[in-house]
Amino acid sequence: MDPQRSLWTTYAMMLTVAVIWGAAWPVGRALALAAPPWSAMALRYCFAVPLLFVWLHFAEGVRVPPRSEWRTLALMGVTSVVLYQIGFIFGMRETAASDASLVIALNPVMVALLSVPLLGYRLTRNASIGLASGFAGVALIFLASPNEQIPLEQRLYGNGLILFGAAAYSIYTVTLRGYLLRGGSQSPLGALTWASLIGTLLLLPPMLAEQPWEHAWTMDEWAFLAYLGVLSTVVCYAFYAMGVADIGAPRAASFINLVPIFGIATAVMWPALNEQFGLVHVASFALVYAGVRLVNTQPPEGID
């Protein structure tokens, strides 16, 4: 652990990450309902990418990846930025933020499932039960959400887009793991930074086609973009990286299980979103949480 940081300081940082990432769901819904979608996607990363390069420069220095790695980094950029943002922004236009924060919590379960064929992980009995539990929790919020102010068909479509985004980010996560295991030239921070740059460049043409200069951007919308681009993307990744270094990946990851709780609480307390809380949220969270805990017992086999 960094001698300048106490254990309680690290825990406070990790709790801050959970709060900010949780609140990103109602912030994302408010932004998605107000702003042009492609512009919202691209401008979020226009905030984030320069700061990621500054962080990379001071943390370890910026090194241009070799030509042999650009295809892998491009896949990471397409999945973690373009496809994930499509699922996030377009999904948040259709469904409740409280529901979406539970759907996205399935991400570790989907990563475990993809790791079996792609990374050679072994699917144990506990992990299989965890997969079933996680998907059951998401199915419950799909079909029995208390947010009946949003028509069921619209909610199903929106949750489906969020699930699509989770699947895309799972592909990114597995690709990143494979890249690091194979000895790629970039650290996790370096890979994130270059992949984010690639994804941002790919988002610029549809943003320009949308003519964002025709939209009357409000201060609230700029604040939402800054929240997502600076706090949710850069600051939280920095805090999370420091948390992993100080207390280890398992304990740091345990704080991420709190994200849906803060997402639901923030969405329900946001008057303009008019979202409802119900016992279905509790049951869905319990099933997804149990699923994540079970799949995390799955032992890695590594890759060749």
pLDDT over 80 (residue 300)? no
Q: What pTM, to 2 d.p., does this model score?
A: 0.88
153 exposure class (CB count in 10 Å sphere: 0-12, 13-18, 19+): exposed
The mean per-residue pLDDT over the stretch 70-86 comes to 96
Question: Residue 195 — pLDDT band, cuts 50, 70, 90?
Answer: very high
| Residue pLDDT, tens place only, 151-160 | 999 999 999 9
The better pLDDT of the pair 39, 13 is held by 39
| pLDDT tens, position by position, 208-251 | 999 999 999 999 999 999 999 999 989 988 888 788 777 776 67
The confidence score (pLDDT) of residue 279 equals 93
* Cα angle 298-102-10, degrees, rounded to a multiple of 5: 70
Q: Is the pLDDT of residue 267 over 80?
A: yes
Token pair 């948040």 is found at 92
pLDDT tens, position by position, 48-68: 999 999 999 999 999 999 999
Q: Is 101 left (phi over 0), alpha (psi -120 to 50) or beta?
A: alpha
135 contacts 295 by C-beta, under 8 angstroms: no
- For residue 106, the model assigns a pLDDT of 83
| Average of per-residue pLDDT across 268-296 | 90
